[in-house]
Amino acid sequence: MKQDFSPAWLDYSLPVEVAKNKRLVKRMDIKEALSQAYTGEAKAALRLKVYAQKAEDEGYKQMAKLFRVIAFSEEIHGARALKGLKEIKSTEENLAASFESETQVAEVAYDRFVKLAEAEGNKEAVLHFSQSKDVEETHAKLYKQAMNHFMEERETDYFVCKICGYVADGVLPEECPVCGAKAKMFVAFQG
């Protein structure tokens, strides 16, 4: 019955350093508290969505709903904390930031994860990380495209692969170019 909660709420722990003789206490500031709240709530929201999926798989429709509702509530808390950090800029800047972030995530983070998984011979992890890397690269392209056509808002439909997260722009593909999933595995974002 016991689960390890550490990834969820240990983020909230208060970093107090006490140097014994000097009575030096480094206290958390509001910015750090907001940052921890943002991280903790974002992780909680996603975890609850996975719990919701699991509950649905097990036939507990009402439990799935409760998890989803509380996930939504946690997102409100997390968004409030993020806004409190005053890091949200104009849409044009947010777009540029997202482009840079995706590029780093693909080229630095996931690239390392893939190499690590390969070195360990963990095929499942290689597949997961390399597909995520490929998808992040396509995200970067979508952002770049949007940056180039920022002022001429064209209307586009999107289709997202539920398996690997690949985002198809405009047309639903017959199968996912990243993971090979069939068209029925895509979620449409239309209108």
Residues 73-112 that bind a copy of itself (CB under 8 A): 73-85, 87-91, 93-98, 100-101, 104-105, 108-110, 112
**Quick one: 88 or 183, whose CB is closer to a copy of itself?**
88
Six token digits for residue 22: 């000097």
Contact yes or no for 85/34 (Cβ under 8 A): yes
Residue with Cβ nearer a copy of itself (19 or 30): 30
Using CB under 8 A, pick the residue from 9, 26, 170, 182 that binds a copy of itself.
9
The reply to whether 34 sits near a copy of itself by the rule CB under 8 A is yes
190's CB contacts (< 8 A; 6+ apart) are 157
Nearer to a copy of itself among residue 21 and residue 134 (C-beta): 134
Task: Supply the Cα-derived Rg of the chain in whole angstroms.
Answer: 20
Question: Is residue 37 close enough to count as binding a copy of itself by CB under 8 A?
Answer: yes
Cα distances (Å, whole numbers) of residue 113 to 51, 79, 105: 25, 28, 10
128 binds a copy of itself per the rule CB under 8 A: yes
Least Å distance, CB 20 to a copy of itself, is 22
Sort strands 167-169 and 186-189 into parallel, antiparallel or unpaired. Answer: unpaired
